[in-house]
Structure 1
Amino acid sequence: MFTVAFSGLVYPQIWEDPVVDMEALELRSTDHVVAIASGSCNVLSYLTGDPAKISAIDLNGAHIALGKLKLAALASLTRHEDFLRFFGQAQSKDNVALYDGTIAPRLDSVSRGYWEARSLTGRRRIQAFADNFYRHGLLGRFIGAGHFLGRTLGYDPRVMLKARDMAEQRELFDRHLAPVFDNRFVRWLIRQPASLYGLGIPPAQYKALAADSSEGIKAVLHHRLERLACGFDLKQNYFARQAFGRGYESGPDASLPPYLERRNFEAVRERSNRVGYHQSAITAFLETQPAESCDAYVLLDAQDWMNDADLTALWTQITRTAKPGARVIFRTAADERLLPGRVPAAILDQWSYQEARSRELGERDRSSIYGAFHLYTLARAA
């Protein structure tokens, strides 16, 4: 079931904070970044750090097509207003006309075929940008189902957006979101691993997540939602806006991913040719790279899905391809180190785990859905 669910578009928006990522990576103008692409919000946001090259990797063809659509838009659109309307608001018929007349000719045939293919409703996929792209994909539908369930039980998640300050955020959470977890049906539902497939959480990751609290999955999900709702000022947290409002906020002071901010548009546009997309497993991609050719690695939460052999194969290639001073970042669903005891010491001992820095940055990750953020730096001598 999970494999089928994950075969199409999963993440219209990535759920890792790129500001935290870039603080950890400390990108330099000579860096080659290897990153799992997902929705490409972070890949393009890293361009604001001015790396020399970004290799964006993903097994999911829909994610590759989304990333290439963004690159084609950057290559063909000269006004920030048009780019923001397309990928920020993502709900205008003008976007479809802009695609047909301006962006599509810049796309490769495979990506163009993806966006112009018709769904079961007979509509071309590109038309998702005419009716709020962020309501599409597995994650978009999952959030929509959560809103429907909340309203059915008498609690509307959208009420969180009425908060004027963090004190009101706490009050609204306690009144309108926290009580949902006391509902008998909700308690039963979240005990089913399939209930979190819409978040891209496979059974193995669900098990780790549920074990993150002695009180079980209910306590974990309650804590993560509470942190999203109350841990940061909602006016500065576009992840919360997506969760509770199902889209980005509009206006000059709206919180947005760095690649969508007006101040970064020209830099991102100018540097967009530094991004290359590769439909591949990340280990297989690294096997094709020369020794000591990469400076930074962004693994998202992919390692939560891996067995010990997979982890060892991945870190063997990371260690082989890493330049002196290389950095690796990733997240885990549970608050755990993950790698010690699973990756051979002969490999892992070449890396230094930045525990204090990892904790500090994890606390500042506005997406709030992960148990821990991790930063490793290459410790072996040059």
Structure 2
Amino acid sequence: MSDATNVTQQLGAAVFQKPATVLGRLNERVFAHLFDGLVYAQIWEDPVADMDALALKPGADMICIASGGCNVMSYLTADPASVTAVDLSPAHIALLKLKQTAAQTLTQSEFHDLFARADRPNNPALVQQLLPKLDPTARAYWGGHSLGSQRSRYFARGFYRQGVLGRFIGAVHLVGKLARVDFRPLLDAPDMAAQRRFYDTAIDPLFDKKLVRFLARQRASLFGLGIPPAQYDKLAGDGAIIEVLRERARRLVCDFPVRENYFLWQAFHRGYQDAPDASLPPYLMPQNFDQIAARATRVRAENASFTDHLAARADASLDAYTLLDAQDWMNDAQLTALWAQITRTARPGARVLFRTGGTDDILPGRVPQHVLGQWRYDMAASARAFARDRSAIYGGVHLYRFGG
């Protein structure tokens, strides 16, 4: 069996939850197909909130899901001994490896052009310069084509407009344009009071539009947010998905100053702000470049499932785990297998951070007590991490501490 076939099967196992209807099975297969390519050009979890909640110390060994690679690289500012990043998407692993190699090869200004500006005409030449330094799999990805265009050209056309999420945000902008809503005044808002006024007058009414309500009822419409069918069903409840989306949009626009929230810029500008004092992920801040370049070799990227990777790790070998919202995809057996491996590989005092589409912790009653009972839920740290998460698209952030 080839590695590509094995990963595809693992992705299917992560997504497929044996729905009762043909339409449900079709939705899951469409989602799995989309997720096999580039989904997140930028990860949508706040690494600053993560590092605070995890209390990352120099010398720590951590593991996370790679996604767009932003958080993996940003964790290097905390000076960990190692960061292992796993992901079932080969495209995400290729993107992370490109960022690693770029940090070690390019100048700070070139690195900034490639990943912060991400739309400069010289950027494809920078990618071509990096290709010989990549491993064969990543080299084949970035040297290849998608829909008839070289992937290196992504970085000249606006990289953050690419991928499933990038196209979803583009569709949101199209809906706004059809409703004659101009998002640009939000980015010029002088204070949070002005942001709230803009939300109340321009954005909130969109959720009452028939087209928006119709689209929100279609599971496939939200695949671009990385919401698989099983997670959609948990969020939707009794037809409440539109109110969930309304509240998440309100938090994104109203709870954080526009000049301090690069997630807001990604949502309403489709890229980072290009200014000397722009809000950026930690790995893209110019003052952090030397650290990122020096520590990039500490990152290990692997195209595999989280549970399978942990099964090959030594006992008591890790200090910190970040799971994004991957557990929302899992059934009880998958959760139990994952937490059995987390518990086996955890050092005393280890921390696990994860997010949920809904508000509640999903583990009690689903992971056996003999496993979960070795961990303590930190309610105060969880609440603080949720309040600080500028991405604002999740219902909850949760932190567990190992007592073993």
Deviations 1:143-191 (A, max 9, x none): 0000001101222333321211111111111121111111112112101
- Cα distance, 1:222 vs structure 2: 0.4
The CA distance in 2 between the partners of 1:165 and 1:30, in whole Å, is 39
1:239 is paired with a residue of what secondary structure?
helix
2:59 corresponds in structure 1 to: 30
Paired position in structure 1 for 2:313: 289
Deviation of 1:268 (Å):
0.8
Structure 1 residue corresponding to 2:328, chosen from 297, 304, 312: 304
What TM-score comes out, normalization by structure 2 length? 0.91
Q: Is the 8 A contact 2:128 2:143 kept in 1?
A: no
2:378 to 354, 357, 375: 354
Tell which deviates more after alignment, 150-159 or 49-58: 150-159
**Is 1:80 aligned to residue 108 of structure 2?**
yes
Contact kept in structure 2, 1:13 and 1:39, CA below 8 Å? yes
Q: Once the 2 structures are TM-superposed, how far is the Cα of residue 364 of structure 1 from its aligned partner?
A: 1.1
Which of 31, 51, 59 is the matching residue for 1:2?
A: 31
TM-score (norm 1): 0.96
Read off the aligned partner of 2:66 and give its amino acid letter. A
What's the % identity of the aligned pairs? 52
Map of 2:125 onto structure 1 = 97
- Tell me how far apart the structure 1 counterparts of residues 222 and 185 of structure 2 sit (CA, whole Å): 23
- Cα separation, 2, equivalents of 1:215 and 1:307: 23
1:111 aligns with 2:138: yes
Q: Write out the 4+ residue segments of structure 1 that deviate beyond 6 Å after TM superposition.
A: none
Matches within 5 A, 1:161-176: 161-176=187-202
Letter of the 1:208 counterpart: K
Query: Cα deviations across residues 228-270 of structure 1 (Å, max 9, x unaligned)?
Result: 0111101000000000000000121100000000111001110
**Contact 2:34-2:164 at 8 Å conserved across structures:** yes
Corresponding residue number in structure 2 for 1:260: 284
Q: Which residue of 2 aligns with 1:205?
A: 231
Residue 215 of structure 1: CA displacement?
Answer: 6.9
1:148 to 168, 174, 178: 174
The aligned counterpart of 1:178 is 204
Question: What is the CA distance between 1:30 and its match in structure 2?
Answer: 2.4
Is the 2:57–2:78 Cα contact (8 Å) retained in structure 1?
A: yes
Deviations 1:108-135 (A, max 9, x none): 11111101111223x2111100110000
The 1-side partners of 2:313 and 2:194 are apart by 51
Provide the secondary structure at the position in 2 that maps to 1:370. coil
Does the alignment pair 1:57 with 2:86?
Answer: yes
Q: State whether residues 53 and 399 of structure 2, in contact with CA within 8 Å, keep that contact through their aligned partners in structure 1.
A: yes
2:145 aligns to what SS in structure 1? coil
Query: For 2:347 and 2:279, how far apart are their aligned partners in 1?
Result: 35
Equivalents in 1 of 2:142, 2:78: separation in Å?
Answer: 30
Counterpart check, 1:158 vs 2:184: yes
One-letter amino acid of the counterpart of residue 59, structure 2 = T
State the partner residue of 1:369. Answer: 393
Query: Are the aligned partners of 1:72 and 1:104 in contact in 2 as well (CA < 8 Å)?
Result: no
Q: What SS does the aligned partner of 1:93 have?
A: coil
Unaligned runs of 5+ in 1: none
